[in-house]
Amino acid sequence: MAAGSVIRRTDIPGLDWLVSFGFSAVLVTMFAVAGVANAVNIIDGFNGLAAMCVVMMLAAIAYVAFQAHDVPIVMCALAGLGAVLGFFVWNFPAGLIFLGDGGAYFLGFYVAELSILLLHRNAIVSPLFPLLMCIYPIFETVFSMYRRRFVRGRPMGLPDGVHLHSLIYRRLIRWAVGSKSAKALTKRNSMTAPYLWLLCMFSVVPAVVFWDNSALLGIFIVLFGATYVFLYSRIVRFKAPAWLITRR
């Protein structure tokens, strides 16, 4: 665990009791870190998508750490943010370099560890702050597991191409469908990410605004889940809201 820190509070009934025991707290912390790392890797499907989401998350951590007067966490978050931005300018929109599994897993690990350290060092920060901040990749992962197992009857860990970002790529970016040139395909790939940046902002912004209020953070977590399921169900049935569709 980062600097000996583990998750000791969650503001979630039942789970708080579980993490009150040392061994359980370590297991929950390991699960959370591995889960966030895997979640960031899952959304790393298009140019700029995972990188910009991580930039927003690190900016959120830096802001909340600043509000809590935790300078070391501020500096670590800003250092990571600068490094990811340096990668981003080469990754989006031209796709000249890519994160790969190793890069995506590392960024997820870095966000998770900074979040745990922030909570460990600052009791004023709500434990639901990092959950709401990272809820887009986390919900994408959990929803994908549910969809594979209970909707399609397949193993939870089996890869598929029906993630929300994959659906947006196939069904909303209409202006590039007809062209098969490498330039057009790269542009189509890159234009997928901004849709998901907006979705990520829908969680990061309220997380930053209400970082010390667990009740409001919990409400926005529920709202995000409802919004995600609504958008997914509409797009998968070819009934995407008109304002989401990019036309020729």
Residue labelled with tokens 């007067």? 69
Q: What is the pLDDT of residue 248?
A: 45
Q: What is the pLDDT of residue 169?
A: 76
Stretches where the chain sits below pLDDT 70 are 1-4, 150-152, 156-161, 171-172, 174-185, 238-248
Q: Is the dihedral of CA 123, 124, 125, 126 positive or negative?
A: positive
Residue labelled with tokens 């040139």? 181
- Strand-pairing partners, residue 246, are 173
Give the total number of structural domains in the chain.
Answer: 1
Give the domain range for residue 206: 2-244
Q: What is the pLDDT of residue 150?
A: 67
Q: What is the pLDDT of residue 199?
A: 93
φ/ψ of 228, rounded to 5, equals: -60, -50
End-to-end CA distance of the chain: 50
Q: What is the pLDDT of residue 147?
A: 78
Query: The whole model's pTM is what?
Result: 0.88
Q: What is the pLDDT of residue 188?
A: 75
The model's pLDDT over 164-193, given as tens digits with 9 standing for 90+, comes to 877 777 766 755 445 666 666 677 777 888
